[in-house]
Each structure stands twice: as structure tokens, then as C-alpha cells.
Structure 1
Amino acid sequence: MTLDRILVVDDEPQIQRFLRPALNAAGYDVLQASTGAEALKAAATAAPDVIILDLGLPDMDGKDVVAQLRGWSDIPIIILSARERESEKIAALDLGADDYVEKPFGIGELAARIRTALRHKSRTSTTATHIEIDGLEIDTLRRVVMRDGMAIRLTPKEYDLLVLLARHAGRVVTHRTLLTSVWGPAHEEDLQYLRVFIGQLRQKIERNPGEPWIIRTEPGVGYRFAESDQGGS
């Protein structure tokens, strides 16, 4: 059995000393890099399945590593960073990172994010046509949405927003990505507009809209659709 390979990019020796045995124990093959240049070389030559990337590297900003990787690779990237500014997280996600974990962190949380990234990677060769979660069903071939067997009426924009989130289940999708993808670049700053539509969607699809479980808020960053069982062709 071939182990999934994780590339850990961080210049803090204590982080590397902690993560290698922890991830090995979780069943992963671990590669390590301490600079952006080393990370780019390892990504090109060692074919990792997931990259865990610190933003504060000695030779370049981690966001530049993300941008360069996304020029030729769709390897899932999880940002691991102590930077507290939301703008840093948002910039990395908008450049193509899949998720982020803040330092200090727990290995359990990081392992869960890795599993999500691997599941998403396994689905990239197909486009989901049927998505199910907690009684909610989305049929993208027929453009039908149902809750517990009953059809839900959505506006075209509500439907597009829901499908975009659902196809990135388990991943953070930033406000900017949602706004530009559904409404176009001219609306990338219309955050209140997005909040209204998210609120409308929650009223229609959540069992308890006041405590949403399917569409979760990532404060200051965007939204995350809960993990779901998907099928497609």
C-alpha cells in the first residue's frame, strides 16, 4: 500500500520535529522543506499529495509559493501560519490555497484538514453531479435541489452560489471568490450582498437557519460547505 505523501514547508525546526513523527504515526510519508525554493523543487520532483505551507519563509513569501505552484499544479495546499491578519489568509486562499490552519494548532485539526484535502484531490478528475448531505440533495444535471424529498425553489443566483460551495465541500471559499464567480468581477467588494444571499440560502436549506451546519461562516474570510458524500460521472 502506497502512503499518501505530505510535504511540510516550514523554517521552524521545532515545527518540523513535531510534525514528522505525528504525521508518520497518522500513516503519511513526510517530506520536509525549509525554504520556498526547496518547496517548489520538492513539489516538482517528489509529487506530494498535499503541501502544508508556512507563509513566513526565509527566501520568499509563502503566498508567492502558492502563486507559482498554481501556475502548473493543483496539489492541495494547506496554509499553516502564525500570521493573524485576515488579509494574509484571504490573499493566500484567493491565490489558490485550499485551506488554512493557525499556529498554535492541534495535530487532530491538521490531520482532519489533510483528510479533507485528500478527499477533494481524489474527486478532481470528475465533476460531482449528485451531492447529498443531511437530507439535502443537489442534482446538478437537472438543476434540482431537494430537502428531505421535497423540492426547494431557489433563484438562479442562489443555485449557482450553493453549487459553487458544495463542489468545494470541506474547503474555505473566500468572499471574493464567491462574489466574482457568481456575480462577476464588478461585485468583488459587495460583501453585504453576499451575506444577504447566504442568509436566504440558509433559510431554505438548513434545518436550523439560526445555527447553520451546512454552510458555515469562516469569520472575515468566507464560507465552508460541510463535508458531504458525493457521486458523479
Structure 2
Amino acid sequence: MRTIMVVEDDPAISRVLAAYVKKAGFECAVFSQGELAIGQLAVIQPALILLDVMLPEMDGWDVLREVRSRSTCPVIMLTAKGGIDDRLQGLNSGADDYMSKPFEPDEVIARIQAVLRRPPHALITEGMKQYGSLQIDFKSKSVRLNGADLSLTPKDLALLLFLAEHPNQIFHREQLIEHVWGIDYDGSDRAVDHAIKRLRQSLQEMSPADGGIRTLRGTGYQFYANKPG
């Protein structure tokens, strides 16, 4: 049975989340401190983490960074802050989804199930891929072209990393919005088109024989590539 890890210092919220998680058919492991949760990450190997931002000592952002350095486990951030800047910080820091308090427990379960239905991230985040002159380090989240670091916005970088993790697969706008921008995103899906345009400009010195970003009219986008080195 899959385990959901709840990292929340409010006992009342933890109890409610644990009850609903178990009712949905999952095991539940509850921690009130981020350090304790990180220490048990490899042992429990959770299917997903519900992570509160306002934790004592080690806050949720630090916990998220530590989780991302060790695991591709999906993370849903929970916080009393609901501003767009806070949501973007969470999604740009590697969270898979973001929920503001107060929330309905049923919606939390729906979000968990939605995230778990997504294709799993490949463990290539532990290493590096090379497509001709393009080098992508998934662990450090850095990109080099012809030996020079590419300066990309956080969202453009996240989009490139996602597409490069799934070479030669086609994704339509709605899928890219869900995987890269997050299901809470309420802006225009044209943001995908603008990001793709910027990425093409950044990768214009890449040889077409090695790969690149392709638009398939009426279908979506793909990072087409030969077998990486």
C-alpha cells in the first residue's frame, strides 16, 4: 500500500489529513518537523508528501530543497499564504502542487490522486544528458550550450527540463500547463507558446541534427532528439 507523508506541525490539521488519507486507501506517516521527515524519507519511500510551509526550525522551503536533492517524490505544499507570489515560489522550487489554508480535506485527496496520476519523473535527475552541444544537468538544474551556461527564467528552465526528461514525446498545452505551471495556474495557456518561443531563441545555436523543440500543428510540442550521450 502506498504511503502519504504528512509534514505538518499543527496536530489538529495532521489528524484530519491522516484520517482522510487513510480513508482514501493510503498509509499515512505524520511528522511535525522537517528534519524528522527527511531522516525517514529513504525508509518510508512515500508516494507523495504533503508539506506545510510554516514549520518550526527548518521551514517547508528548506525541506523541499532537501527532498528534491534526494528524491523525485511528488510534493504538495500546504500554506496559510495564498498570494500568487507564494504559489509561484512553491511551483518554481520544485513542488508539484500548492494548496492554501483553509482547505477542504476532500480537495486535498483529489489533488493527491491527480498528482499521482501524472507520469512519474524519471530518475535521470541524478545525472546528466548530452544532445550534441547541449548539456543538461538534471541534478543541478543547469543547462550549457557550446560550453556556455544558458541564462533561462525559472519557468523556461522548468519547461525545458520537463520536455528533455521526455524526449520525442508530444505534449499539448494543457499537459504542459499541468506539469510545469501547476494545476492552480489560472492564466492564459498562451504562456506555453511564449515560453517555447523564448527557448527556441536560447537554443538557436544548437544543431538541428542533435535535437530541439518542435511544434506539431494541432497536436502540441516535443523535444525531439537523437539518443543522448
Please tell me the TM-score bracket, short chain as reference: 0.5 to 0.7
Normalised TM-score (structure 1): 0.56
Shift of 1:123: 3.9
Q: Counterpart of 1:41? A: 39
Structure 2 distance, partners of 1:86, 1:169, is 15
Normalised TM-score (structure 2): 0.57
Identity of aligned residues (%): 31
Q: From 56, 63, 72, give the equivalent of 1:58.
A: 56
Note if contact 1:55-1:81 (Cα within 8 Å) is conserved in structure 2: yes
Note if contact 1:76-1:117 (Cα within 8 Å) is conserved in structure 2: yes
Q: Counterpart of 1:4? A: 2
Call closer, same or farther: CA 1:72–1:88 in 2, change over 3 Å: same
Q: Which amino acid is the alignment partner of residue 198 of structure 2?
A: W
Q: Counterpart of 1:168? A: 179
Query: Any stretches of 5+ residues in structure 1 without a counterpart?
Result: 127-139, 144-159, 188-203, 206-233
Note if contact 2:50-2:76 (Cα within 8 Å) is conserved in structure 1: yes
Q: From 74, 88, 94, give the equivalent of 2:92.
A: 94
Shift of 1:168: 2.2
Q: Counterpart of 2:221? A: none
Structure 2 distance, partners of 1:23, 1:13, is 15
Q: Counterpart of 1:154? A: none
Structure 2 distance, partners of 1:141, 1:71, is 26
Q: Counterpart of 1:183? A: 198
Shift of 1:142: 9.1
Q: From 4, 13, 19, give the equivalent of 1:15.
A: 13
3-state DSSP of counterpart to 1:14: helix
Structure 1 distance, partners of 2:117, 2:65, is 23
Query: Any stretches of 5+ residues in structure 2 without a counterpart?
Result: 124-166, 203-216, 219-229
Structure 1 distance, partners of 2:88, 2:181, is 16
3-state DSSP of counterpart to 1:8: strand
Shift of 1:172: 3.5
| Superposed counterparts of 1:100-139, under 5 Å | 100-120=98-118, 122-125=119-122
Q: Counterpart of 1:68? A: 66
Call closer, same or farther: CA 1:168–1:29 in 2, change over 3 Å: same
Call closer, same or farther: CA 1:5–1:84 in 2, change over 3 Å: same
1:169-228 deviation per Cα after TM superposition (whole angstroms, max 9, x unaligned): 9944878x96667624x99xxxxxxxxxxxxxxxx97xxxxxxxxxxxxxxxxxxxxxxx
Shift of 1:86: 2.3
Q: Which amino acid is the alignment partner of residue 168 of structure 1?
A: H
Q: Counterpart of 1:132? A: none
Note if contact 1:6-1:48 (Cα within 8 Å) is conserved in structure 2: yes
Q: Which amino acid is the alignment partner of residue 64 of structure 2?
A: V
